[in-house]
Chains A and B, each alone.
Chain A
Amino acid sequence: MALTSRHLLRLQGMPKDDITKILDTAISFKEILNRPIKKVPTLQGKTIVNLFFENSTRTRTSFELAERRLSADVLSFAASSSSVTKGETLKDTARNIEAMKIDMVVIRHNAAGTADFLSKVINANVINAGDGQHEHPTQGLLDMYTLREKFGSLEGLHVCIVGDVLHSRVARSNIFGLQTMGAKVSVCGPATLLPRGIEQLGVDVYHHIDDVLPKVDALNVLRIQMEREAGGYFPSLREFHRYFGVTKERLDRAGKPITILHPGPINRDVELSADVADGPHSVILEQVLNGVAIRMAVLYLLGASE
């Protein structure tokens, strides 16, 4: 029943059986979410802390909802209200939480490796809700769940990740998870926004979106942070939209339906045009619902490993 690890830190190196177990478990939780009464007693008596050192309304809400649906006691810390800003080290923060006898910690932090670090210094189960530019494993899992639901299987599927791969933890979790599940992954973006050595991860690299569209089943379109323009990664958002934006016109030229994913929040008409985001092949809102189911599955499976 349990997973091979007590923590969910990354999808890189996660066994295929574990991923399958999470995706399968999420199916029954999604059923629960569609019932009139959406609450189960699975984690009654367990205390979960959501440690959000970085703002994220969506991920935090999704985790909180998942935790409450499982009847856990939930505490949430936001960076602004915590003592981190007062110079307390992460280890001290962690030790204080530990002293309060918490069972599980969900952590979001702007530096890669913080979930790893936490898992080494406290006894609670640690769930990585996004660490810097490293990984966002529950996002990767919910993307895979959404794709599997749509296509029946991930084996042999071709997914292209579009946009700012360099700064994206979503991209890394998708690459590692999808490859483990037998899917083919490509990346497409400006050369300045693809990290060095990305081709060594076994992905095909594209710089022209029209070249890759006819070959793929799905696009995972990444959010482009507005500050990247100021950072000089590309000349202007207008140019980015013109050459890397996913538009209806482009998709129509590909001559086949392509499923559109986006981790949100969307910059409409920058990386994704509004008609595509709201169009018939968009599964963006499904991702949101599946996110709660996936997080319930992860919390349940890690709680069950105790």
Chain B
Amino acid sequence: MSERILLRSGRLIDPPTGRDEVTDILIVDGTIHTIQRSITPGPEDKVVDLTGKIVAPGLIDIHVHLREPGYEHKETIETGTLSAAYGGFTAVCCMPNTNPAIDDESIVTFITTQGKKAHDGIVDVYPIASVSKAREGKTLAPIAELVHAGAVGLSDDGAPVFDAKLMRRALEYATMYKVPVMQHCEIPELAHGGVMNEGKVSTELGLPGIPGIAEEIMIARDLLLAEYTNSRYHVCHMSTAAAVDLVRQGKKKGISVTCEVTPHHFTVTDELVRSYDTNTKMNPPLRTQKDVDAIKEGLKDGTIDVIATDHAPHSLDEKEVDYIQAPFGIVGLETAIGLTVTELVKPGHLTLRQMIEKFSTNPRAIIGKPVTVAAGERANLSFIDPEAQWTVNIAAFRSKSKNSPFNGKVLTGKASGIYNHGKLMLY
């Protein structure tokens, strides 16, 4: 007896096939059977009305901290994937700054196994393994073993691969296994001790600054290394205008570079730090309006490939300390769609199709897990209500942590469900 689900009257936007139309979709046993304007439901079909909703190829967040193993008081694979599901994601890439770090195939296996157990595995968990052993930046992690165990990218995120020789070797070695090296761009000596963007606001607040050049110098160096080694390089959570321009120039030169930005970096500026709210503390820090404008421009012109959240859960106790002591990072999975529709789609910076490219097509291409919505394909879908008005309420977050500066913010656009591996969730 096969399981049949009929998705009715949703607007299918599938960048890989170029489709953008209101249509019915029949899924049989987890595979897309028919896409047609109007399908008459059979007696056994479960019918889901998606009028007014968007049906997209499954969204992915390629920059998430699931905190397991090691920091289960902040988040677990179980809570993090539920948070992702409610944010409209059918997949996440989890960063290796766990304890122990993801620098051994057993840890990759552990994470993917836990991911398959959580919520019937509706959210795919793809580990990003560390570039260096224990993320210490000294010697290469066992990259081939890690990739064969299931890692889809390499990063020492949370810290940069500082040593230029190690970075060169990592880029060269990763090329053999077709995985990107995803760099947390920061010159440690320039960023050291800083807690917010260096500029007028940090000067007024008396908080130590992190200058934009700490990020930009690292990107400039890495672009030269990527060009020299002819390898694939990905810039994590880019935050400054000059960084956007460096990547733009790199792409023009034909360097194989991709990059991501977070929703908070295109939504708010360092002015928000005036509250001394530790939920405005993240790394890279919130920058200036000029940087926000440049990021929007970079998203529009295609320089910026991906929107990723840098979902970084921390417990209330850890954040409820003074600004300097507080850890960097905010949760992002459940506000990503809302912030993107509100800040980018509604004002006309991005079309819905471009938004889906940056949440699905492009990031999936970077890690080699493409999804398209076509007959015969496994159904991997996200449903979005682009007109839903809602108020962010941290108490309702599925994430174990509530560290968001957007509590109380009114947003337009919300995930209304996902479908993956034959399982359906609707909110």
Contacts and interface: CB of A to CB of B under 8 A. Distances in A.
A197 B200 contact: yes
Contacts of B204: 12, 172, 201
B34 to A, nearest CB: 57
B200 A201 contact: yes
Contacts of B200: 197, 200-201
B300 to A, nearest CB: 28
Interface in B181-219: 198-209, 211
Interface in A114-138: 114, 116-117, 131-135
A226 interface: no
A113 B203 contact: no
Contacts of B202: 195-197
Interface in A68-121: 89-91, 109-114, 116-117
Q: Which of B202, B323, B325 has the most C-beta atoms of chain A within 10 angstroms of its own C-beta?
A: B323
A111 B324 contact: yes
A2 interface: no
B324 A89 contact: no
Interface string B258-294: 0000000000000000011000000000000000000
A134 B206 contact: yes
Given A12-B204, A131-B206, A133-B206, A116 B276 contact: yes
A133 B207 contact: yes
A135 B322 contact: no
Contacts of A197: 198-203
A131 B207 CA distance: 10
Contacts of A295: none
A198 B207 CA distance: 13
A227 to B, nearest CB: 13
A89 B278 CA distance: 13
Contacts of B322: 90, 109, 111, 113-114, 117
Contacts of A114: 322
B320 interface: yes
B205 A112 contact: yes
A91 B206 contact: no
B166 to A, nearest CB: 26
A60 B67 CA distance: 43
B424 interface: no
Contacts of A109: 322
Nearest to A165: B203
B164 interface: no
A7 interface: no
B317 interface: yes
B317 A89 contact: yes
B207 A196 contact: no
A90 B203 contact: no
A223 interface: no
B321 interface: yes
A196 B203 contact: yes
B206 A196 contact: no
Contacts of B208: 133
A194 to B, nearest CB: 9
A131 B206 CA distance: 9
17 contacts: A112-B205, A112-B206, A112-B323, A112-B324, A114-B322, A132-B207, A132-B324, A133-B207, A133-B208, A172-B204, A172-B206, A196-B198, A197-B200, A198-B203, A200-B200, A200-B203, A201-B200
Given A112-B324, A132-B207, A196-B198, 7 more contacts: A90-B320, A90-B321, A133-B207, A134-B205, A198-B203, A201-B200, A201-B203
- The 4 A-B pairs with the shortest beta carbon distances in the complex, nearest first, are A113-B276, A134-B206, A133-B206, A111-B322
